[in-house]
Amino acid sequence: MALFSFRRDTTPAPTGAPAEVEAFLKGYSMEVMPRTAEKVEDFRAILPKGTRVYIAHIEGTPIEDMVATAKRLNADGFPVMPHFPARIIKDRATLADWIARYKGEADVKQALLLGGGVNTPAGEFDASMQLIETGLFDGFERLHVAGHPEGNKDIDKDGGDRIVMQALKWKQDFANRTDAKMAIATQFCFEAQPVIDWVNRINAEGIQIPVHIGVAGPAKLQTMIKFAIACGVGPSLRVLQKRAMDVTKLLLPYEPTEFVTDLAAHKAKNPGFGIESVHFFPLGGIKTNAQWAIDNGGASGVPANQA
Alpha helices in the chain (DSSP H): 18-25, 34-37, 63-75, 92-106, 128-133, 162-177, 192-204, 221-230, 238-244, 257-269, 286-295
Q: What is the pLDDT of residues 201-222, one digit of tens each?
A: 999 999 999 999 999 999 887 7
Residue 284 included in any domain:
no
CA–CA distance, 251 with 253 (Å, rounded to integer)? 7
Residue 184 included in any domain:
no
**pLDDT of 252:** 67
The Cβ of residue 231 has, within 10 Å, a number of other Cβ atoms equal to 16
Please count the residues of the chain.
307
Per the structure, the complete domain to which residue 71 belongs is given by 26-140
CB 74 within 8 A of CB 102: no
Residue 259 included in any domain:
no
Q: What is the pLDDT of residues 106-159, one digit of tens each?
A: 999 999 999 877 888 999 999 999 999 999 999 999 999 999 998 766 555 555
CA–CA distance, 53 with 31 (Å, rounded to integer)? 6
CB 259 within 8 A of CB 233: no
Please compute Rg for the chain using Cα positions. Answer: 19
CA–CA distance, 173 with 108 (Å, rounded to integer)? 25
Cα separation values, 211 from 18, 47, 180, 199, 242, Å: 22, 22, 15, 8, 28
Strand partners, 254: 219
Residue 106, SS3? helix
**pLDDT of 6:** 33
Residue 132 included in any domain:
yes
Alpha helices in 77-190 (DSSP H): 92-106, 128-133, 162-177
Q: How many domains does the chain have?
A: 1
**pLDDT of 229:** 73
Which CATH number does the domain housing residue 35 bear? Answer: 3.40.50
Residue 76 included in any domain:
yes
CA–CA distance, 80 with 102 (Å, rounded to integer)? 10
CA–CA distance, 143 with 113 (Å, rounded to integer)? 7
Residue 192 included in any domain:
no
Residue 95 included in any domain:
yes
Which parts of the chain register pLDDT below 50? Answer: 1-16, 303-305
CA–CA distance, 30 with 53 (Å, rounded to integer)? 5
Residue 189, SS3? strand
Residue 207 included in any domain:
no
**pLDDT of 119:** 82
